[in-house]
Structures are given as structure tokens and as C-alpha cells.
Structure 1
């Protein structure tokens, strides 16, 4: 409810938080967070992160990515993860998510793209 669907992805911005998810309502069964400098285009950042999440976790059966972007205290709070239908090695999946979010090349590319 309330999410706009475009090209198979639901996007909702509510009270400064943008959520991007394949399935609605969005579920963060797995999630990790990081902080980035402020960005101009939250939706572009969310889509870039979502693509990298999918590349890293597409072999995880039942995984559907979700990304949340919020501007907070002069920074961008990014929560990435998603819905997980089925059993999976949670710690291993979250370690992969952390690796994606903390990769300096990913972060630089995301920030360029979301200016």
C-alpha cells in the first residue's frame, strides 16, 4: 500500500526515508547499515546499491533485495538487505552484505552516481 511500482520495483518515500524493494511491503530479514556523505538523489543511490546487493547474493535462494536511504545529521544512512524466504546461512549472507557496503570502489561509484 502506498508504494509506487516502476519496472518491477516498489519505491516509497515517507518522512525522509526512501525504501526500494522488489516485493511490497518491504521486509528486512537480513540487513546491515552504513553511513555515507549526503547525496542529492536517494533513488539513484538505492538502485545502485540494490544492483550490487543482487550481484553479491543472487545465489541465495529466496533472497529479494531491499534498500532504505535516509538523510540524517549531515550524513546518509543506508540500510541494505532484504527479504529472505527460506533457510540460509545468515552470518555468511550478512558478511557478504557488509563487504558490498564497505567496498571503497562501490562507495565511490555510488556517490558519483547519486550526486
Structure 2
């Protein structure tokens, strides 16, 4: 069995997760690196579901970036979620990648989809 870095656990599908108070982090590679990233703010949503939805779309948007391994950090801040998305790049980083991520995070259609998929589940 491979030893995990302190506080991290594997979801069994190759993703590493860490919960630290109000913050949930999801990454493909350890140690976590933020070679490229951008931030946004969304309403309070399910942090794990939101992180997985964003990383899935981010991977699709940047899959042509050689050596890219996505990471998403979601921090609950009152009635908001502060999101940092990006990750590590094993290789040369072309200009404008962080700007592409910022535009990706502000896309209205994606934001609506993330909110639908990560809305808090209420027990009935």
C-alpha cells in the first residue's frame, strides 16, 4: 500500500481528497502544486460535488495542455464557496492558461450546471 501524505485520502479512482475545516481539496497528483490557477466565488454548495464537477469540466477544457493534472479547492465562507481551480503542469506552460481558467470559471452555462449538480441535498 502506498503511504498518503498527511491528511490526504484516495477516493479509489486515482483522485486524492483532503478536508480541512471549511476547505475541501481535490487533486490528481501529490504533492499538490498550483502551477496555473484562477479563482471565483459561487453560492454555498456541496463542496465535494462542486469540486468534482469543476475538475471534470476543467480537464475537458484543458486536456490538450500536455502534462496537466487538475486540482480544485473549495472553501466555504459563510453563504459562499470560494473556488480555486487549476493544477500542475509537467512541462512548458503556454501563456494565457490562467486567463483561460478564469474565463472557464465565469462561464454562465457551466456555473448553472455546477450549481444544479452541487446543490445541498435536503433530507425529507
Alignment TM-score, normalising by the size of structure 1 = 0.93
Structure 2, unaligned stretches of length 5 or more? Answer: 120-124
Shift of 1:15: 2.2
| Corresponding position: 1:51 with 2:56 | yes
Aligned residues: 113
What corresponds to 1:108 in structure 2?
112
Please identify the structure whose Cα radius of gyration is greater: 2
Gaps of 5+ in 1: none
Moved over 4 A (4+): none
Counterpart of 2:100 in structure 1 is: 96
Q: Report the Cα offset of residue 101 of structure 1.
A: 0.4
For residue 12 of structure 1, the aligned residue among 9, 18, 23 is 18
TM-score (ref. length: structure 2): 0.87
From 83, 90, 95, the equivalent of 1:85 is 90
CA distance in 1, matches of 2:42, 2:60: 21
Task: Give 1:36's aligned residue.
Answer: 42
* In 1: Cα distance, 2:21 partner to 2:91 partner: 32
Q: How large is the Cα RMSD of the aligned pairs?
A: 1.0
**Higher helix residue share:** 1
The Cα offsets for residues 29-53 of structure 1, whole Å up to 9 and x where unpaired, read as 11100000111x2111000100111
Whole-angstrom distance in 2 between the partners of 1:29 and 1:3: 20
1:12-41 deviation digits (Å, cap 9, x = unpaired): 0112110000011211111100000111x2
